[in-house]
Each structure stands twice: as structure tokens, then as C-alpha cells.
Amino acid sequence: MTSSKPRNEELFDRARQLMPGGVNSPVRAFGSVGGTPRFMVSAKGPYLTDADGKEYVDLVCSWGPALLGHAHPAVLDAVHAAVDRGLSFGASTPDEANLAEIVKERVPAVERLRMVSTGTEATMTAVRLARGFTGRNLIIKFAGCYHGHLDGLLAAAGSGVATLALPGSAGVTEATAAETLVLPYNDLTAVKEAFAAHGQNIAAVITEAAPANMGVVTPGEGFNLGLSRITREHGALLIVDEVLTGFRTGYSGYWGLTGGAPDAAEPWTPDLLTFGKVIGGGMPTAALGGRADVMDYLAPTGPVYQAGTLSGNPVAMAAGVATLTHATRDVYSFIDVRSLELSSALSSALDSAGVDHSIQFAGNLFSVAFGTSANGVHNYADAQAQESFRYAPFFHSMLEAGVYLPPSVFEAWFLSAAHDDTAMNRIFDALPAAAKAAAAAQG
């Protein structure tokens, strides 16, 4: 008998019998918006197509990597050529240095680069390296900033200054969590007080260049500069996580728009940076880089061990080189304009429907936070306090209209160089009904 269920439902039912929650990354399960996740079978330009044959304008863009649009011809050609040469050699390849050279040209703070396979691996290695270089144990992170699923960085938000964190996930021991100090984001006073109390034991401060995992949160004026000053004063390192923002918010990432910008009033330079997503052009690739004296503490030149069988995978390197080569400054200018157009249209639709909100920006990334017009969102507490119940009906209205948004209010919206007028108009047309659905939501 032929099933009457939509193919997406059939696939989700099967997946739940085989994988925890039916997914391999939690947000894909639609847990915060409800309903059946869409199983995508193809993508081209600004569009996704699901297992039931429905096409969507994509505002997730693989969480960033599809900067040029899906299935960009130059990237596909590079990947096909690399595949023809072999999938993995377990040895060095020319494109590893080619990609490292492109990164170094774009981000002068990177004097050395180490390729890894995931953003989590990049931040894990950066933290281990910071501890090895400084001989200290404690790490400061900020509530609401996500740095991958490394045990010590899943620490839950603490209250007060320099609170020793409790585990933020089952399986994370209290001893591991106790090596992380969790502070409120955008609060330099808390950072200064933490260093006053624990400075001799703090190896590093790790922060997202601009947080985009509690929704987008703009760093306060002078916040990242202040972190750079404080860490240098106390002999600790500053790790700037650009796994999400790197080569996405601009040609040189978010640091390139701020502390590394040519016209920066007070330039500042992180000691280490981590990259992912765009750097691999859609393939599983990430990296960490920074000061040569710090990076040279990694094996084989130094005592901090890190290795990976698939690090610098030749197919992934080819995708990364092709993506960054074609991600010209004109591409970023185009995406910047599209981002402003969409965020303005979103705000106008919500205003017309009487929905209180604020739009949070980090370069061309943005997100919406409901019920926050009075003060905006400056930290995790602000993000948690928003009227998040309005997002699910908003999301599903857009989904039904053929627009695929991030399935969580705590994520950024992504555009690409392939979002032409036709795609943008489809999004604009869907916004008024979605805004009304958000207005009608009951908490």
C-alpha cells in the first residue's frame, strides 16, 4: 500500500528509529519551532528543494558556507577535479598551503594556520594551545557564546562575577566545568574583576568575534578592544572565535570590520582566531591561526599535541580555495546591500503588524528578537527574556510560503551572492502574513 504521508514525514519517522532525535545536529529536529523537519535533497543558487519536491528560498545557507550560493559552478568544478585525483591521501597536499596563504592575506593577524575538520576541533585546539603556552588552566567564556561542543565550553551561564560554572550538558564533569569562568557578555567590569581574583590562573578569554548563537549580538563599543588590553596586561591570550563570522561578515571576517579595519580608531589584534564554515566552502573544514610564537607551540614544532587523519583533506581544501577566491569584495558588498534590504523589510512588516521587536546586526548577519525594542539585546539574559513564543508561528508561515528560515530564534539569518531580485521578492511577499502570525501568537 502506498503511504499517504508526505515524504518528509516518512523520512523523519525512519530517521528517529536510527538516530537520536532523527538528526545529526540538534537544531535540525525543529525542536524549538515544532512540526516536521524538511529533508533537503538538492540545492541550487538561493534555493533548496525538499524530499516532497517543494522549493524554498534559503536563508540558512548551510549556516554560512553557501556564501556564493549553493552549487556555485566554480566550487563544483574545483571539487570534481579534486575528487578525480583521489579523496584522501593521508599526506600533505599543495592546496593546504594555498588555502592558508589566502587566509593569511585576508586576516593579517594569522601568522601561522593549522587546518582541522570542525569548528569544535578548532576551538578545542585553541584552548589546549592557550593552556600549553601560558602554563595556566582557567578559561573565561561568555554566557550565550557557543564555541562548539567541547566539554569545558559547554559550561552553563553563571551568575555574578567570575562564577565557577556548573556543567551545561550531561557528561561534562564538574571538575571540567570548574576550569571555565562564565561571565555576562558585553561586561568589561566583570572581566576585570575576574582577572583581579584569578588572573595568575587564567590562560585565555575566548569570545565570538560577534555572537551569533543567542541570536546576533553586536559587541559593545570598545568591548573586544578592552578584552585585548586586559588579556595582554595579565599575560593571558585572547581567542576570537570566527567559526561563524569568519569570511562571512566581510572579506576579513568580523575582526576585519573592527579591530583589524584599516580605519580602526584603536586597532587591536587577537592572539588566536578560529575559523570554520565558509573556509571549507561547504565541506567539513575548519582552522585555527594566530601569532607565530603561539602557533609554533603546536606539534611537531612544539609540545602541544594535535593531529587529524582528515585534516587538510584535499577535496575540502579545493572547495575552500575556490570559495574564497570567488568571494571578492564585490560579493560582500552585494550581500551587505541584500542584508539591509531584507532586515528593513522584516522590520517594516513587523511594525505594520504591531509586533514589538529589535533587529540585531553583525556586519551582514542579523536576527530578530521579539519584545526587545526598548533596550535591544546585549547579552544572554536579554536574549532569553525576549518573546520567543512569537517565532514558531512566524517561522511556519514563512516555511509554508516557501522561505526556509533558521529553525530557532537564537540563530542568525544568512544571505548569499545568489539571492537575486526574484528570490528576494519571494521573501518580501511572505513577510506580511508571517508578521501577522507573530502578532497573533500567545505566550
Residues 43 and 231: their CA atoms lie apart, in Å, by 44
Q: Is-catalytic flag, 146?
A: yes
Stretch (H or E) spanning 116: strand 112-116
Instruction: Give the count of beta carbons closer than 10 Å to the beta carbon of residue 365.
Output: 24
Residues 380 and 394: their CA atoms lie apart, in Å, by 22
Choosing from 187, 241, 271, 382, the catalytic residue is 241
CA dihedral defined by 99, 104, 107, 109, rounded to 10 degrees? Answer: 140
User: At which residue does the C-alpha cell 559587541 appear?
Assistant: 219
Instruction: Give the count of beta carbons closer than 10 Å to the beta carbon of residue 375.
Output: 9
Q: Which one, of 246, 242, 415, 210, lies nearest residue 324 by Cα?
A: 246
Residue 230 main-chain phi, psi, to 5 deg: -65, -45
Contact status, residue 190 vs residue 162, Cβ threshold 8 Å: yes
Q: Is-catalytic flag, 44?
A: no
Can you say how many angstroms the Cα of residue 320 is from the centroid of all Cα atoms in its chain? 17
The three cell numbers locating residue 54: 517543494
Residues in the chain: 443
Residue 152 main-chain phi, psi, to 5 deg: -70, -20
Residues 231 and 299: their CA atoms lie apart, in Å, by 25
Q: Is-catalytic flag, 241?
A: yes
Residues 297 and 306: their CA atoms lie apart, in Å, by 10
CA dihedral defined by 117, 118, 122, 125, rounded to 10 degrees? Answer: -70
Residues 115 and 279: their CA atoms lie apart, in Å, by 10
Q: What letter represents residue 76's amino acid?
A: L
Choosing from 58, 95, 271, 277, the catalytic residue is 277
Beta bridge pairs of residue 141: 182
Beta bridge pairs of residue 49: 42, 55
Choosing from 146, 254, 332, 380, the catalytic residue is 146
Which residues are part of the catalytic machinery? 146, 241, 277
